């Protein structure tokens, strides 16, 4: 449960003038909303997207200084190309992009699609961009991390019978463990860069309707209309974690109805998401997979 409450909204976002922010998955959903608010707050916002045309359409709808660059988190060569082309500082990296409950599949490098995109893609991107980052990294997790478990012997579902929900939950738990271990390593190295995490609660986005399963898509559409909070409110925890003076390792989510909706506040982690030994082991496995 949250450790505090607030009335914070995107209207309280401070000035980002002179700052550079990279947002993955910024062509739609929460990433697009967050990118738009950050651009209006004065940031130079880089929309890191797989589809350049959709990214340019999104950027054209935003007021402020934006730039679109191609990034496919399901392809390590695309991540390396993005990182190699980067020069200059990055104040904030928002690891927002993700896929949810998709059918069994493989990334360009043979990783299970959800683990490979949601976790390994952002793990590799952060590692490659870290020398440029000056303030913080914010990684998007999910309430569903609470149902997740990490199978270090079968991270890519090569031995188990595939379960799309369990695979998604594993990837979201991995996001939290990554943010935890990243902060531990930053602290140990004496870096002032902070690692944060956030989750949107239950927010109405297109993520729930891109499962390639008619029943799941229909259920997601109904849930978005009847239960979910708006995508605008779902983006608040990401913006809160990106802008407030919070300690490294903070995790932000909605403050009401078991963290499913409301204004952003510090959120709770499961015991698994706080397991430092598991976080280190996952880091080592992720390094091996993406090297």
For residue 178, CA distances in Å to 27, 37, 209 come to 24, 26, 27
To 5 degrees, how large is the angle CA 30–CA 183–CA 281?
Answer: 100
For residue 114, CA distances in Å to 60, 158, 171 come to 29, 13, 6
Cβ(130)–Cβ(84) below 8 Å: no
Where does the chain show beta strands of DSSP type E?
20-24, 44-49, 65-70, 90-95, 133-140, 194-198, 251-256, 261-266
Q: Which two tokens stand for residue 55?
A: 């990214």
| Residues 6 or more apart whose Cβ sits within 8 Å of residue 92 | 19, 20, 21, 22, 43, 133, 135, 136, 137, 138, 242
Residue 32 to residue 25: CA distance in whole angstroms = 7
Q: Return the active site residues.
A: 168
| Residues 6 or more apart whose Cβ sits within 8 Å of residue 136 | 91, 92, 93, 193, 194, 195, 196, 241, 242, 248
Where does 143-233 show beta strands of DSSP type E?
194-198
């Amino acid at each position: 449960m949250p450790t505090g409450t607030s009335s914070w909204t995107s209207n309280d976002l401070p000035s980002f003038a002179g700052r550079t922010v990279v947002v993955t998955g910024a062509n739609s959903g929460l990433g697009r909303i967050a990118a738009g608010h950050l651009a209006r707050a004065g940031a130079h916002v880089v929309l890191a997207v797989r589809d350049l045309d959709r990214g340019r359409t999104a950027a054209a709808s935003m007021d402020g200084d934006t730039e679109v660059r191609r990034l496919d988190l399901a392809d390590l060569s695309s991540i390396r190309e993005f990182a190699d082309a980067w020069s200059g500082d990055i104040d904030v990296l928002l690891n927002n992009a993700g896929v949810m409950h998709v059918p069994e599949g493989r990334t360009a490098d043979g990783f299970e699609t959800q683990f490979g995109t949601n976790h390994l893609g952002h793990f590799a991107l952060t590692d490659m961009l870290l020398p440029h980052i000056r303030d913080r990294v914010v990684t998007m997790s999910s309430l569903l991390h609470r149902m997740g478990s990490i199978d270090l012997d079968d991270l890519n579902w090569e031995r188990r019978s595939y379960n799309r929900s369990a695979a998604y939950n594993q990837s979201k738990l991995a996001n939290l463990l990554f943010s935890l271990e990243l902060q531990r390593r930053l602290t140990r190295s004496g870096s002032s860069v902070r690692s944060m995490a956030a989750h949107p609660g239950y927010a109405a986005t297109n993520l729930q309707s891109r499962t390639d399963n008619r029943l799941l898509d229909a259920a997601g559409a109904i849930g978005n209309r009847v239960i979910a909070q708006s995508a605008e409110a779902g983006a608040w925890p990401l913006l809160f974690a990106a802008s407030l003076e919070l300690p490294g390792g903070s995790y932000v989510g909605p403050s009401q109805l078991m963290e499913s909706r409301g204004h952003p506040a510090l959120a709770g982690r499961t015991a698994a998401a706080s397991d430092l030994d598991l976080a280190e082991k996952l880091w080592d496995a992720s390094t091996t997979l993406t090297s």
